[in-house]
Structure 1
């Protein structure tokens, strides 16, 4: 048996022994809820006491930045430099979790105690993101214990505010560009395509929140006396939305779409099936751009969704025409979409359609980013995972949801590889969040194989002459 296989078997044994479960339980017990300012001590303690010491045992130099720049986010940067001639990896994870929803978990489970039921390990943060960054940390520890070195340089960045939008992360990265300099970004968050499919995704779609409002008059007027004479804002709003996206989910404004679906993206998505999980909703035939496959629609294209809308009191309607109506929309967009001037574009389109009484307001946005699927780093990582698992991994150009990938791809200029250790049915952010034991077992083994390939086999695309950031 070769050394790589022995290290991977050590990883499998570590999970089967129950020791990985115990280590994850210790992390889950720290109530690092980022929406609760009272948990600031727990957050600092998690970074300072739970993560930094174990990195220190591998010779990392740790720097904690609590409440950086007097903001709401804290950062831990750990660095291990073995040689300037070796490749450097930037890893990432987030210490914070969402609210525990105590009292809402099945079988009286406690959110901040890891509970095993069959193959499911229940606990807040088990999937998002403590279990995932623990897999990567433990893989590094196993490799280091076996060889006394990694064979590459490593920077590990943990933040404490991903669940509240990663405040100041982009600014922190820009201000610490040299400290975070690397050749490739490797991290784990979000879900695999399915529990059975090892997955690499390369970025995330962006999002723009849009408010449409029709505010016509301060009072409501009797529908019998005034119906047909005064404009109804709810009717107007529904029609205005139809100008932007039709009743079958197809975007009607060319400026809200990317120019095209790149050939490399189309090729990467060939044959990928979406919605095959036992608890996934049934995909509606005829919804969205049916010239694209389901995978292309959610991973390679844009969608405009109505998240909420209302006028008057829907639960207690009266015989009156309301004075105003509001809708909240969201554009999920891929790289290649021009979102500059989006508010003016939508307003112009509504004005030209005769809906100048509808006002448009962009309320928030986050950018799209991805590494191109034909990057040599993607090929290298896919080959490593295929060797470790015996099957080709799924490669997604980006996930349909959001992650701060743009910080690493655009701000730091790195090829980004996300290798998730969770699945779509993990119930993250909800009661009964859980990690699957088989994914933990396989994930730890394949990360050991990946890091071994980078540091021992030295078969990555790393070329010191092509370094953009230096080190």
Structure 2
């Protein structure tokens, strides 16, 4: 089969379908989009049915449904489980978008929309690769199962239980995920490690109500001042986390990994220039790449309290709040880290306020050996499509379900992404380069053919 000809011939049709998919505002974090979540799930199910996938179902969870489909008619060949998500992030701040986030627009060979790169665009490519084989040959080169969820952007709270309950249904020889990035234009990468995640909110309460700062200023603790002091106590001047026990379980980077990271040629100066900041900042003794891929963090994501309106309102606020997330590395446990932070909050709480800690998302870090034959097959597919060998990288972000899949299903995880770091995922003007859409379709198809060869060898 001439894959290039098929994708070229159907490109306009595929892009129209992708725009249709991207136009569904399937925001999992906002309850008012519950019907849009269902619509996106049904759209995917219809697509799977349209090119011959079998047993296509919307499987219920305690939250949003999982879209499942399978084609298991390649006896003796490996089974590939493909995971992705059809939910997307909120779009705020809306005024920073150059075009409406759910009215997909193609400009300069990039498609702009929420979900274009994270993760609808990349999920869609796997569907179209399978479709190309089915429409051209009437069969797939290997057995395939799709598991597409609708809650990844809120931490996949129900997928662990779903995988546990459906281990037999999801059993496969390998898991493939396209929800990561390349190193840059024309620089493919296979991600073999992800950081874990845990999140929390701190609520400080001072006086029973807002107070006049003239009448009471200097007599009571200001919760905003207390919160600033508390948050500052969590790092030293170099950016190292000062929560007792935070680094106790961290597996140090090996010399070989540090050398491999250096060989990628991504310098601190390059990153500083890319981000437009006067200086980089972080834990001493590590490069920026090492810190963002393989060292843990504690970041304040939001802080608020008191008067936010125009002008001045002379009050001492009653409350102050902060949201925090930590990115974790092997062998840190999210629950243990949350325990340590909560203990730190109470041990360093300034006088005159009380504290409440609310826990949010949790996900374990994941690292897999990159000499596995499935990962090496992906490397060959990238090189065939892009003309260069891919780099093996870690990623600073988190996909919590990856560790669950690897642990419960006992299979290798192949993370072959096609996004670029500058594509504004989670931000206004999210977009996906169509160059990587086109080449990614070929890469995925070549990968399935490489996996077919593995089955023949056995």
Same fold (TM over 0.5): yes
Residue number in structure 2 paired with 1:332? 327
Measured against aligned partners, the alpha-carbon deviations of 1:39-83 in whole angstroms (never above 9, x if no partner) come to 3552353033223322x2xxx3223135x15x3311222122235
Tell me the TM-score normalised to structure 1 length. Answer: 0.82
Summarize the Cα distance change of 1:100–1:374 in structure 2 as closer, same or farther, 3 Å threshold.
Answer: closer
Q: How many Å separate the matches in 2 of 1:348 and 1:169?
A: 29
Summarize the Cα distance change of 1:274–1:380 in structure 2 as closer, same or farther, 3 Å threshold.
Answer: farther
Superposed CA RMSD: 3.5
Which residue among 357, 362, 365 is the counterpart of 1:366?
Answer: 362
Say yes or no: does 1:155 pair with 2:145. yes
Alignment of structure 1 residues 113-124 onto 2, 5 Å: 113-124=103-114
Say yes or no: does 1:246 pair with 2:240. no
Residue number in structure 2 paired with 1:271? 263
Summarize the Cα distance change of 1:314–1:32 in structure 2 as closer, same or farther, 3 Å threshold.
Answer: closer
| Contact 1:95 1:160 survives alignment (8 Å) | yes
Summarize the Cα distance change of 1:12–1:221 in structure 2 as closer, same or farther, 3 Å threshold.
Answer: closer
CA drift at 1:439: 0.8
Measured against aligned partners, the alpha-carbon deviations of 1:97-120 in whole angstroms (never above 9, x if no partner) come to 44578985866x454454322211
Summarize the Cα distance change of 1:268–1:317 in structure 2 as closer, same or farther, 3 Å threshold.
Answer: farther
| Contact 1:140 1:451 survives alignment (8 Å) | no
| Contact 1:46 1:95 survives alignment (8 Å) | no
CA drift at 1:90: 0.4
Q: How many Å separate the matches in 1 of 2:343 and 2:25?
A: 47
| Contact 1:248 1:286 survives alignment (8 Å) | no
SS in 1 for 2:204: strand
CA drift at 1:182: 0.8
CA drift at 1:290: 2.8
Give the number of equivalent residue pairs.
Answer: 448
Which residue among 209, 221, 225 is the counterpart of 1:235?
Answer: 225
Residue number in structure 2 paired with 1:133? 123
Q: How many Å separate the matches in 2 of 1:160 and 1:400?
A: 18
Summarize the Cα distance change of 1:387–1:37 in structure 2 as closer, same or farther, 3 Å threshold.
Answer: closer
CA drift at 1:360: 5.3
Gaps of 5+ in 2: none
Say yes or no: does 1:439 pair with 2:429. no
SS in 1 for 2:392: strand
Say yes or no: does 1:259 pair with 2:250. yes
Which residue among 258, 273, 281 is the counterpart of 2:275?
Answer: 281
Residue number in structure 2 paired with 1:303? 297
Summarize the Cα distance change of 1:267–1:61 in structure 2 as closer, same or farther, 3 Å threshold.
Answer: farther
Residue number in structure 2 paired with 1:86? 77
Tell me the TM-score normalised to structure 2 length. Answer: 0.84
CA drift at 1:401: 4.1
| Contact 2:362 2:400 survives alignment (8 Å) | no
Measured against aligned partners, the alpha-carbon deviations of 1:111-131 in whole angstroms (never above 9, x if no partner) come to 445432221123343323232
Alignment of structure 1 residues 23-62 onto 2, 5 Å: 23-34=17-28, 35=30, 36-39=33-36, 42-54=39-51, 56=52, 60-62=53-55
CA drift at 1:388: 3.2
| Contact 2:272 2:278 survives alignment (8 Å) | no
CA drift at 1:296: 1.1
SS in 2 for 1:423: coil
Measured against aligned partners, the alpha-carbon deviations of 1:417-451 in whole angstroms (never above 9, x if no partner) come to 22122223323345533221111121112212211
Q: How many Å separate the matches in 1 of 2:37 and 2:188?
A: 35
Q: How many Å separate the matches in 1 of 2:6 and 2:396?
A: 27
Say yes or no: does 1:22 pair with 2:16. yes
SS in 1 for 2:170: coil
Which residue among 65, 68, 78 is the counterpart of 1:74?
Answer: 65
| Contact 1:105 1:432 survives alignment (8 Å) | yes
Gaps of 5+ in 1: 464-471
Q: How many Å separate the matches in 2 of 1:399 and 1:379?
A: 22
Measured against aligned partners, the alpha-carbon deviations of 1:359-410 in whole angstroms (never above 9, x if no partner) come to 3514212212323244424344224323432222132223424453233223
Say yes or no: does 1:390 pair with 2:387. yes
